[in-house]
Homo-oligomer: A and B are copies of this chain.
């Protein structure tokens, strides 16, 4: 591992802008952001609908970056911060895998530079301040039942999903039913990912709606005068974090919002910083192109105004077999027919990306047991569907060497004037009604024929319009295991009715999130948590992380 100073110096970031956290991590002052002068190309990494094990998008983003480095480019990879909870449950860390990793892994996965802790403390400070204001009848006529702001935790603690607070009499708060969410599900985490500076952070924090008054009016942080202390807890959190890949390429890892009830992308500030120094910035969007990529376009870059040059669509033969109906236990065996039967999913995701006007490079992430026939057939299908290029990728096994072919294709796509998008073709206008926005997404992105709304959701949408919130973009909270709302619908379902069950507003972050089915905002632990195998040596090294 290089000292973080050296990584910054190679990238051209002045040492005075670094706030070190140990010798291999640093926060970077916002003063380092350069908006003029040479700009890098922004490339977003997305994927096809994954198996429950995932398609290796993070690993591909990292190996691609190392490949670009080997080709002499000056890349940066921008990733989300891993959440603490999943490390101890099923999923594990969020720093890549095999030879395509960012380091120091253990520190990035556990505590890092404290951003998630700051978000959690800010969220819970707000909860305490709101609860206290209501307790003291000083909260814009909000009753205890009117509070909608939750609390958050970084533990996968199912017992906290639904709780009653305020037991024990008058010295405590009034009795109330409420919930804990995961820190990554906090609106403040989404705000961190979308904000541009401290002044904008104040505006967004002030806009957060924490409840409803007795007369039915939304009550915001600004109404209660609470933005100041929240800023005090968050002020250093908005500085992006610099680390490196195992091959010494710079990685900016900043913010970690959920990919369903939030937009699942790393921060705008991180992209702005990277684009002033790198010639190509690889930035990952959560889940598949029907979720993270769509939100990257409609919520993140539509707001940041940062032009996107190309997309990488991570696919695997393995996942296409899955979409073709192969059972999970048989996924490791070649199955050309099943792969072809499932390839509609790949085609659909290529279409999603192309519908925005972007060139798409399909990365075929190789797994053991992939046959040459399958890989070639998948590539041919992708080409036929209009992919700019396809490339096999083996960064997990081979590091940057396994990413060179992909890197070459991606660099070409990002710099090819013949495919550079003039304007982005969005799926909806911001001025359209909430219903029309959702319909636009459902038809173009989810392949649906129509949208159904529950009466409650429709009523709520109408109320949002009275508040002017209908001008906000839509953040769809739905399963990531299907293009549709139904995780059992593999491949490329189409023509079905897409059901909206509820709609909520993240006014601070700046989007409405519609729910298609139930989304768990606080995970639980499995019967054999990964935690049980974990240990620390006398030297302080973590084992089985």
Contact = CB atoms under 8 A, between A and B. Distances in A.
Interface of A: 19-23, 84, 88, 106-107, 110-111, 114, 117-118, 120-121, 124-125, 127-129, 131-132, 135-136, 138, 151, 153-168, 171-173, 176-177, 197-199, 202, 225-229, 231-233, 235-236, 524-525, 527, 529, 531-536, 538, 540, 542-545
Contacts of A236: 107, 111, 540
Given A111-B236, A232-B545, A532 B166 contact: no
Given A88-B229, A107-B236, A162-B168, 14 more contacts: A117-B117, A121-B154, A121-B155, A129-B529, A151-B160, A158-B172, A159-B166, A163-B163, A163-B166, A198-B540, A227-B535, A229-B532, A232-B534, A235-B542
Contact of A159 (B20, B106, B155, B165): B165
B538 A132 contact: no
Contact of A231 (B120, B131, B535): B535
Given A22-B19, A154-B121, A232-B542, A167 B164 contact: yes
A153 B124 contact: yes
B172 A165 contact: no
A165 B151 CA distance: 13
Contacts of A132: 158, 524-525, 529
Contacts of A527: 136, 138
A128 B111 contact: no
Contact of A121 (B117, B166, B225): B117
B118 A135 contact: no
19 contacts: A20-B21, A21-B22, A111-B117, A111-B118, A117-B121, A124-B154, A125-B531, A128-B157, A129-B525, A132-B529, A136-B527, A162-B167, A163-B164, A163-B165, A198-B538, A228-B531, A229-B534, A231-B536, A232-B534
Contacts of A544: 228
A247 to B, nearest CB: 24
Contacts of A545: 232
B531 A129 contact: yes
Given A162-B168, A168-B161, A228 B136 contact: no
A506 B88 CA distance: 25
Nearest to A144: B159
B172 A156 contact: no
Contacts of A153: 124, 151
Contacts of A163: 163-167
B129 A158 contact: no
Contacts of A19: 22-23
A419 B136 CA distance: 55
* Residue from A159, A202, A524, A536 with most neighbouring chain B CB atoms (10 Å): A159
B136 A156 contact: no
A1 to B, nearest CB: 14
Nearest to A233: B110
B124 A157 contact: yes
Nearest to A199: B538
A172 B84 CA distance: 20
Contacts of A155: 121, 124-125, 127-128
A208 to B, nearest CB: 15
A464 B519 CA distance: 46
A536 to B, nearest CB: 4
Contact of A128 (B156, B173, B225): B156
B110 A131 contact: no
A289 B177 CA distance: 43
Contact of A22 (B20, B121, B135): B20
Nearest to A165: B159
Contacts of A158: 128, 131-132, 135, 166, 171-173
Nearest to A524: B132
A508 B448 CA distance: 57
B129 A88 contact: yes
Contacts of A202: 536
B125 A232 contact: no
A228 B534 contact: yes
Contact of A536 (B120, B138, B228): B228
A518 to B, nearest CB: 10
A523 to B, nearest CB: 10
